[in-house]
Amino acid sequence: MKTTLRVLGLSISFVVALFVFLFVAYGMRARLPPLPLRAIGRAEALSAFEGERQLATQLGMTLAEEGEAPVTLVDGVGVWRRPIALGARECVAVIVAAYGYQSPRAVAVQDLAADSSRITTYPVAPLSVHRGSEGLVAQTQWCNWDAQPRVAVAETRGTDPLVNSPFHEGVLHYAVYRAPWGRVGGPLALTRGELSAPGLASLGPEPAVLAAQSQVPPGARSLGAAIELTMAGARLLPANATTYQRLYDAVRGDLDAGVNPRVDPFVPPGDRWGLGLPVNFRQVTETALRGARQPPLHDAVIEVAENRFRRVLLVVDLGRLGASCATLMFTRLVVAQGASLMRHQGAERGVAIPAQGNVVIDRQCPAGGVVIYTASDSDQETYRLDVYATTN
């Protein structure tokens, strides 16, 4: 019995001693400088830097600034900041590489009003960011529509992430490239960085409209002013009993009760389409209800599958457009974000229309029948509709 207790005591002592040894060893390791073998050489970092530099010059950008700055880790993260006075219709690329005992973790272009002590996350996302780099270099790009100052922020980490040591000194090599929007081609042409949705939305609708102009069919003739399709409700083109009844039937679907889909009532100046609400709107809705009780006003959405809904953008009587062949061009007014629309005609559940970026083009020849166009029910962006007479 005594022998067993002695062995047990020795085992416990050994385990305790082992834990103490590991704890002391880890504490000693944290106080020692990193091994020289883990250092990144300057020539190695700059060699990788040159590859990223070529991506900026291929966009037509030219070097505006280049330099180096020492970076010290604080709580395991090093931070470098550089204000950028970015003009109207100007694009920028920020490239960073690190050598010594650090490597780039992320680089971003942010709004100057945002906290630039680190790369922001929530609630203000960077305009453009490249995260998760495991290499020696990182690059992100951005384009301004209006003149507005920005700030470039880079974060670095130690080459040995297990060691949070003050000896993890490093040097950041950086370069800033610039070019006019027209030379680069705007955000759609950028090749580095993740562009944030709020950042793209902040550019406004003009860049999206400009990018869409190259997709207008050759020889197309505009049939009228552009129409905005907003969250105010479905557009009826023209606003009459025929288009409203088609909307009503699609929204009601298999429901036994009546529906009351929201219709955009706004009539733009110089309207030639007959937009807004039907002149005899009350009579039109009463006819559609067929004696059913009218519920409160609600969004114009249709169910295309069980518990899967789509937002109605437009109900159009193609025969009333004034052309035997018509092309409808939908532009989602957020540049560099794609569009996904469907066409619903007759009893069909809907057909997806191919998109080119944020532009969807639907050619109807001959132009006839009443058609519904929908977007995802989660898509709350404004679309612009241009209608053209085309030869096919």
Q: Is the CB of residue 154 less than 8 Å from the CB of residue 172?
A: yes
Q: Which two tokens stand for residue 126?
A: 């960077």
- In this prediction, residue 357 carries a pLDDT of 86
Kindly tell me if the per-residue pLDDT of 27 is higher than 70: no
Task: Give the pairing type, strands 326-332 and 383-389.
Answer: antiparallel
Class of domain 42-201: mainly beta
Domain ranges of the chain: 42-201, 211-389
- In this prediction, residue 21 carries a pLDDT of 55
Instruction: Give residue 166's pLDDT band: very low, low, confident or very high (50, 70, 90).
Output: low
Per-residue pLDDT of 330-359, as tens digits, reads 999 998 788 999 999 987 778 999 999 899
Per-residue pLDDT of 259-318, as tens digits, reads 999 999 999 888 988 999 999 999 999 999 988 888 999 999 999 888 899 999 999 999
- 254 CB contacts (<8 Å, ≥6 apart)? none
Instruction: Give residue 23's pLDDT band: very low, low, confident or very high (50, 70, 90).
Output: low
- In this prediction, residue 188 carries a pLDDT of 85
Angle, CA 140 vertex, CA 137 and CA 144 arms, to 5°: 155
Per-residue pLDDT of 169-196, as tens digits, reads 899 999 999 999 999 999 989 999 999 9
Q: What mean pLDDT comes out for the span 246-266?
A: 92
Q: What percent of the chain has pLDDT over 90?
A: 65
How far is residue 303 from each of residues 169, 311, 372, measured CA to CA in Å? 59, 9, 13
What backbone torsions phi and psi does residue 379 show, to the nearest 5 degrees? -85, 110
